Amino acid sequence: MRRVDTMDTDQVYQAYAPIYDYTGQERFGAYMARLTLGWLHTRGITPHRVLDLACGTGGAALIYASAGIETIGLDRSPAMLQIARDRACAAELDVTLIEADMRNLDRLGALIALPDEHGNSESGRHILSDCFDLVTCFGDALNYLTDDGDLQRVFASIRRVLAPAGYVIFDVNTETAFARWDERDLVVFECDDCLVYNRLSYNPATRFGQGRIVWFTRGDEGRWRRGEETHVERAWSDADIPQALAACGLALVERLTVEGHSVADGAPLPERLVYIAAPDRL
């Protein structure tokens, strides 16, 4: 496993990183990676190089690597990435993990070494373009993009690094999910030495949601410790996403539920929606 230099950082998923991993939240990324590979397999597509954005503790990235795919994972949280590194080492998987901002992928060429057409690697020789045949982003990470232009910035960055025959696959929390963020304290994990609860609120006028995550862990001496993080997400509408994709030269291919079922236009939206897009080939 290769370790590389850092770029931008963020404060969310710092103190919470070990709790995230301990409570098994990385399993969703692993599930989505398997769903993605299955969707591609039924179409006779085998990706050779994948970029997993907001990779967290490596749930999806390690699935790709275990399938023999050259894998690069990117995240803004050094704490999450350290857990991903530890998991990759324990599994003896070769994964490149980068601390970076997915809104600007142009500097990736200065941070990683990818082989050229002759099999030679030279870090930083150029800005990477057309080099990934799969880009993924799971765990509602795109909802964490809150500025008006953020979504298009990410899609533009993806389009620059995505191969002409490649795919980008990602999920979002929909407005249906945010409508259920109703200020209740909800226990999401409980065992003898750990308790996690969330308080979620949503303002439909601004389309911003706030998640207050509180946890208690018991140490070896039996004393309980408390931690807390506040996360802000934005509800991107089902119209926002195709428009932003199209503006960046990406065409929507299909929308799925997390169970892998296609969602027809005009159908009621599930709480989480999976989008599949590809470079516009017209």
Domains of the chain as residue ranges with CATH: 3-174+236-279 (3.40.50.150), 176-234 (2.20.25.110)
**What is the average per-residue pLDDT within 106-119?**
59
Token digits of residue 34: 């398997």
Residue with the larger pLDDT of the pair 130 and 73 = 73
Token digits of residue 146: 């809150």
pLDDT value at residue 106: 73
The residues, ordered by sequence, that sit 6+ positions from 211 with a Cβ below 8 Å of its Cβ are: 181, 198, 199, 200, 230, 231, 232, 233
Average pLDDT over the chain, rounded to an integer: 89
**What is the average per-residue pLDDT within 44-71?**
96
Q: Tell me the per-residue pLDDT of 139-183, one tens digit each, with 9 for 90 and over.
A: 999 999 999 999 999 999 999 999 999 999 999 999 999 999 998
pLDDT band per the 50, 70, 90 thresholds, residue 28: very high
Per DSSP (E only), the strands in the chain are 3-6, 49-53, 70-75, 95-99, 132-137, 162-173, 182-191, 194-203, 208-218, 224-234, 250-256, 272-279
Token digits of residue 199: 């308080």
Please determine, for residue 231, whether its predicted confidence score (pLDDT) is greater than 50. Answer: yes
Q: How far apart are CA 107 and CA 104, in angstroms?
A: 7
